[in-house]
Structures are given as structure tokens and as C-alpha cells.
Chains A and B, each alone.
Chain A
Amino acid sequence: MEIFVQQLINGITLGSIYGLIAIGYTMVYGIIGMINFAHGDVFMVGAFLALIAFLALVAIGVTAVPLALFLVLLIAMALTSLYGWTVERLAYRPLRHSFRLAPLISAIGMSIVLQNYVQIAQGARVKPLPPLIQGGYTLIDNDVFIVRLSNVQILVVVTTLALMAVFSWVIARTRLGRDMRACEQDLKMASLVGVDVDRTISLTFVIGAALAAVAGIMTLLYYGVIDFYIGFVAGVKAFTAAVLGGIGSLPGAMLGGLLIGLIETFWSAYFSSEYKDVAAFSILIIVLIFLPTGILGRPEIEKV
């Protein structure tokens, strides 16, 4: 029971991070129908920018943790957005009217470029960040087990929930969200009513990158170490989450992220941590056999 509660807490934390990254995959897929394979690496860049920002803030004497955290959040989100925007501009937009696989190949190339760029610029070694947020709450403490909910975990989950609430509101209620949904449903018609499609696509990449940056910061705070390769594994997991939830569906990405996080943690706890990835991907395969469009994905059943 204690193990279960502890793993539930860990799984939700991990799932929140996956969910934030998965939104970027699902949004881009929804609008232009491509898988942005560089998105995991944009997340990695976000984590590095956050680390650099932390160190820079400490160097100039900003040591109050809440203030530093807030500033890092802003800086990393802004700069990572710029990366997301640039990637789309350089690698995808010129290929928009090319054959379908072209942007996909370009995305894989972009992923390699970002990884090697960070490896060269920052070195291949693992980069640590001393724990900034310590402490937490002991929920259960009998003689055998201690179930703890750390402050970092609270921060991760609360930030994720808040961001997802804001993001859902933007999509459902604002003009930008409406334009994005219009582009998602019919790019050509969206341009016929006067929506600037290129700008909307750019903003999609910007928002996706900003959310990935937050995931990067959370990873940095939660694990305390990052390296240039974290984008690959996290990217594949988040992509799996997006597919599991139903690619193109935003609630699906959040749900999928949560599920992948939970499957992974529970499998590690009860079976073997070496095979946790196998477990996550197996569940994906099983779900896709019975629900080819994912859990919340919709089959096209509209009147034409």
C-alpha cells in the first residue's frame, strides 16, 4: 500500500512532465500533420537554457529561490520559444508544399543538429544543478516505509496543472485559439477567411516550445542532472504519450502523458526498472490494436 501511494505520486510527477512535452507533438500534428521529431531536443535545449539562466542569476547575486525560479521560467520559455520558432522557419516552412515525408526527414535532421550543437557548445558530460527546492511532507511513516511528497513534486504538478488550464483556455476561448483550431480543421478554408496561416503555425511551434521549456525546467529541478541526450528518450516517451492519448487531441496528450508516467513508475516498482520502457511501449501497441486513434482520438465521422 505504501509503495503504491509513493509510486502514484512519482508517476503523476513524471507523467506531468511527459504531458507538457506531448502537447507540443500533438498540436503540431493537429495543424500541419507532421511529427516534429526535433521537439524532444527543443525540450532538452529548454533544460539547458534553464540551467544556464540559474547559474547566471546566481552569478549576478539573485539567490532568492522563488524569484530566481520565476525569472528562469520566463527566460527559458522565451529563449526556447525562439528555438522552436527558428526550427519551424528554417527546417519546415520551406518544405511545406513538398512531398509528405520531406518535413519529417528534415525534423530528424534538426533533432541531430540540436543534439550535436548542445554537445559541442556545452560538452557531453552530465550537468548537475544542486537541489534548489528541498523538503516536503511525510504522508505515511510506519516502521517499514516512508511515503514522501516532496516540494519539487508539488511544484511540478501544480505548475503543470496551472499551465494546462491556461493553455486550454487559450485554445477554447481566445482568438488565437480559434485560429489554431480553424487551421487544424481546414488550412485552406482558414486562409480563405483571412487567418494568417503561416503566423498561426509559427505560434503553434512557439507555444509548444514554451511548454517544452517548462518541462525542461521541471526535469532539471526534479532530477538535478541533465545532458545533451535527454531530449531523445523524453521525446520518444512524450510522442508515445501523444499517440496513446490520440494524436491531435490536447486532453489526449495530457492523459497519455499521465498514463505513460504511471505505467513506467509502477512497472519499475513492481517488476523491473530495466524493462520500464518495454512496458510503456507494449501498452501503446496493445491500445493501438484496439483503439487505432488512441484513447481520446476521434475517428472522422463528420458529415461532408
Chain B
Amino acid sequence: MSAQVATTTVATAVPLLAVRGVKTYYGNIIALRGVDLEVHDGEIVTLIGANGAGKSTLMMTIFGNPRAREGQILYEGRDITHMPTHEIVRLRIAQSPEGRRIFGRMTVLENLQLGATIADPARFEEDLARVLRLFPRLKERIDQRGGTLSGGEQQMLAIARALVSRPRLLLLDEPSLGLAPLLVKQIFAAIRELNEREKLTVFLVEQNAFHALKLAHRGYVMVNGEITLSGTGRELLKRPEIRAAYLEGGRR
């Protein structure tokens, strides 16, 4: 079914990921009130917003869990709104989710093997070596159980687990949460490198708006389940309302 055509070289107008008018509910409570956004091939796009704005819900809605009750999610123009989660992953979209969700009773290696579920098993060694080069710390911990890693190491593992399957689109949910500033820097540098060197498209959800907007080509701001602002990273950084709400200690 999935036509693996080299779309990277052909400049197509079809966005890699398009979210159109998506509404998501938890029971009767509305969490996303009609979200529209696009991520183009080769871009780093960030979505910023306060706690509870619906950022993580959007990330999970893209994977069909919870499902969008209205609207459409398109991947390379193809409607994936009602596809089972594991089949969406097969389209080479990977996610490092909110709260990292490491398999705590499995070793680092097993976590990475699981990350490679959809990848070609013959290339696993090569893929593994690739992510371990990016996060050498994980190499030292390879036989350790995921639950015994430090927070920063778990974050690295969550990103490595998403990367080991060679995704085209990587969804990162708050990779900087709870990490020391130096580590945040390292992780953001890694994201930039992957984007520049391997043309990996990244959709990044962050509360750390300053770093995220500096890194991203474009950004969206979500408030209370709606997109209220969008623009290039630079533009958004200059906007006074963004500075007030997200960059200067939450002054209003």
C-alpha cells in the first residue's frame, strides 16, 4: 500500500503532516477545539503552550489514541485519522511521548529493540550503532534496566528508541522536561544535527519556549485547545505576548 517514493527530492506542496480541524474529546470534555497545523518535509516545527493546553493530546491524537472525533489527520496527503496506531507507526512516524514511558523492567537494549519493531531486522545492528553514537551514555548502560536509569538517561533512551526505527517524522513531547540545562542543550543539539544531516522532520512540543523557538523553523502557539498564533521561530520570539506569557516568568 504505502508507496515509498523518494519525495524528499521532489518539492511537493503536500505537507508531510497536516492536521485539519481536529477536535478531540475525553469523554464529554473537549480537549482540542479544531486544530489546524502543517509540518513540511525537512522542517523542525514546534508547538508551545502552557500546561493543559492540549499539546500532548494533539501528539497522541496524531497516533489515533485518543481518536479525533472531528477533522482529519493527513500524512503525505493520505488520511490516517482512523488508522490503527501500530499501522500509523509503520508509515515511519515515531514518537518520544510525554513522560518518556520507558519500559522500566526491560534493558536499554530491549527498549531499543522494541523501538525497532517496524524496522528491517537485518539492519538493526547498524541502526543501533547509529543511535548509540548519538547518545554514548546509553552504550554504557546497554544491559541495565530502563527503570534504573536517571531521568536524563531515560529521556535519551526515549529519543533513541524513537530514532532507531529510522523515522521520517519524529514527534518529541517535552524532551527537556526535568533535565539539567546542559543536557537540554545536548538534546537540542542532537535534534538539530539529525535535522540537518539526515533531513529528519521534527515536530516538537515544548514548554521551554525559548530553546524550542530558537531551534525551530516554524512554531505554533496553543492556548486552551486552539492554535492562537503561528509563524517562524524568530517572529514568534519577538512577539510581546509570547515574551510575556512564555519567556519572562509568566508575567501577564
A residues within 8 Å of B by Cβ?
178-179, 181-182, 185-186, 188-198, 302-304
Complex: A186 Cα to B161 Cα, angstroms: 15
Q: Are A182 and B106 within 8 A (Cβ)? A: yes
Judged by a CB distance under 8 angstroms, whether B36 is at the interface is no
Q: Are A182 and B114 in contact (CB under 8 A)?
A: yes
For the complex, is B85 an interface residue (Cβ under 8 Å from A)? yes
Top 8 nearest A-B pairs (CB, nearest first) are: A194-B89, A302-B147, A194-B118, A194-B117, A191-B85, A189-B101, A302-B104, A196-B86
Known: A178-B110, A178-B113. A192 touches B105 (CB 8 A): no
Taking A186-B101, A193-B161 as given, write out 4 further A-B residue pairs in contact, using a Cβ cutoff of 8 Å, ordered by the A residue number.
Answer: A178-B110, A189-B97, A194-B86, A194-B89
Total A-B residue contacts, Cβ distance less than 8 Å: 68
| C-alpha spacing A297/B101, complex, angstroms | 22
Other-chain residue from A185, A193, A198, A303 in contact with B115 (beta carbon distance below 8 A): A193
The CB with the most chain A CB atoms within 10 A, among B103, B149, B165, is that of B103
The interface size of chain B toward A, counting residues with CB under 8 Å, comes to: 29
A296 to B113, CA, bound (A): 27
Measured between C-beta atoms, what is the minimum distance from A275 to chain B in Å?
39
Tell me if B148 counts as interface (CB < 8 A to partner A): yes
B201 within 8 A of A: no
| In-complex Cβ contact of A182 among B85, B99, B103 (8 A) | B103
Closest A residue to B101 using CB positions:
A189
Q: How distant is the Cα of A42 from the Cα of B182 in the complex, in angstroms?
A: 57
Most central of A182, A192, A194, A196 by chain B CB within 10 Å: A192
Whether B101 and A194, one on each chain, are in contact in the complex, defined by CB atoms closer than 8 angstroms, is no
User: What residues make up the interface of B, taking CB atoms closer than 8 Å to A?
Assistant: 63, 65, 84-86, 89-90, 94-95, 97, 99, 101, 103-106, 110, 113-115, 117-118, 147-149, 151, 154, 161, 165
**Cα–Cα distance between A234 and B84 once the two chains are bound (Å):** 38
Query: Do the beta carbons of B97 and A192 come within 8 Å of each other?
Result: yes
Q: Give the chain A neighbours of B85 by CB distance below 8 A.
A: 191-192, 197
- From A181, A188, A193, A303, give the contact of B117 (CB < 8 A): A193
Q: Given A188-B65, A191-B65, A303-B148: A181 and B165 within 8 A (CB)?
A: no
Q: Are A185 and B161 in contact (CB under 8 A)?
A: no
Contacts of B114 in A (CB 8 A): 178-179, 182, 190, 193, 195
Residues of B within 8 A of A181 (CB): 103, 105-106, 110
**Quick one: given A185-B104, A192-B89, A195-B86, are A304 and B65 in contact (CB under 8 Å)?**
no
CB contacts (< 8 Å) of B110 on chain A: these are: 178, 181
| A178-B113, A181-B103 known; A192 vs B148 contact (CB < 8 Å) | no
Complex CA distance for A188 and B165, rounded to whole angstroms? 18
**A197 — which chain B residues lie within 8 A by C-beta?**
85-86
- Give chain B nearest CB distance to A172 CB in angstroms: 10
CA distance A190 to B101 in the complex (A): 10
In angstroms, Cα B90 to Cα A189, docked, is: 14
Q: Identify 16 residue pairs between A and B in the complex whose beta-carbon atoms are under 8 Å apart, listed by A's number.
A: A178-B106, A182-B106, A185-B103, A185-B106, A186-B103, A188-B65, A189-B101, A189-B103, A190-B114, A192-B89, A193-B165, A195-B117, A196-B86, A198-B84, A303-B147, A303-B151
State the CA gap A198–B165 with chains docked (Å).
Answer: 21
A182 to B90, CA, bound (A): 18
